[in-house]
Chains A and B, each alone.
Chain A
Amino acid sequence: MNAPVTIRIQQEDFDTAREIAALSRGRTDIGAVVTFSGICRGPEGGDEIASLTLEHYPGMAEAEIKRHADEALARWPLQGLTVIHRFGRVTPGQNIVLVVTASKHRQAAFEAAQFLMDYLKTSAPFWKQQEGAEGKGWVEAKTHDEDAAARWTK
């Protein structure tokens, strides 16, 4: 079975429609495509943020996402998946992350997309610094993200 995996860490924006098309073009074996887009929020805990700056660990970021992509392929019958994560400065309303999963039936695509996002949050080496009226500060990790990832542990 041909299940193409695309992983990109990039500064520039991405086009969700183009990524879906790239994954499913010329194929008739895909019955379901699920996409998750993570977008920079403006209001955050009572503050209005001006921007997020994403720092990452080049090399390890790709390796961690690849590791979880391989696990997703082993756990669900996927026809392909795409993960794109941006770094650098993003402003409210702009894209941060994209996960696209394709499968014959919807359940595998839904579950794999959720699995990939839960692990991206807790184990891919990215850090957000937010800038707002109060100045700059590093975003703190949330325990509910750890809990979300833990539910996939076999």
Chain B
Amino acid sequence: MKVKYFAWVRERIGKAEETIDPPASVRTVDDLIGWLTARGETYAYAFEKPKVIRAAIDQAHVKPDAVIAGAREIAFFPPMTGG
């Protein structure tokens, strides 16, 4: 699946998107944050306050307990500040 990062999440990880293949044990958005956090210190820095992070699956907002199976695109970003 494709993962996209925006704003300071993107800056901290150092990339805007990547393709990942997490194991089946990674079921939810929350699990995926945990799995990404273990990938290295840039990820750990981006996800240091997981409660602040917002997520979207296939371009729709989701909660941390959302199941990621079947997702084409998952995005992580800080709370929005448009308008």
User: Please, which residues of chain A bring their CB within 8 A of the CB of B6?
Assistant: 55, 57, 125, 127
Render A84-120 as a binary contact track against B, CB cut-off 8 A, 1 for contact: 0100000000001100000000000000000001001
Contact with B along A119-134 (1 / 0, CB 8 A): 0111111111100000
User: Which residues, 1 to 51 on B, are CB-close (under 8 Å) to A?
Assistant: 4, 6-8
Other-chain contact of B83, A55, A57, A121 (Cβ < 8 Å): A121
Q: Is A127 within 8 A of B59, CB to CB?
A: no
Return the CB mask of B63-83 against A: 1 if under 8 Å, else 0. 000000000000101111111
A63 in contact with B80 (CB, 8 Å) = no
By beta carbon, the residue of chain B nearest A64 is: B61
A-B contact pairs, 7 of them (CB 8 A): A57-B4, A123-B80, A125-B82, A127-B7, A139-B81, A140-B81, A145-B83
Q: Given A57-B6, A127-B7, A138-B8, output 17 extra A-B contacts at Cβ < 8 Å.
A: A56-B82, A60-B56, A61-B82, A63-B59, A96-B83, A120-B82, A121-B82, A123-B61, A124-B82, A125-B77, A125-B82, A126-B82, A127-B80, A127-B82, A128-B81, A138-B81, A140-B79
Residues of A whose CB lies within 8 Å of any CB of B are 38, 54-57, 59-61, 63-64, 85, 96-97, 117, 120-129, 138-141, 145
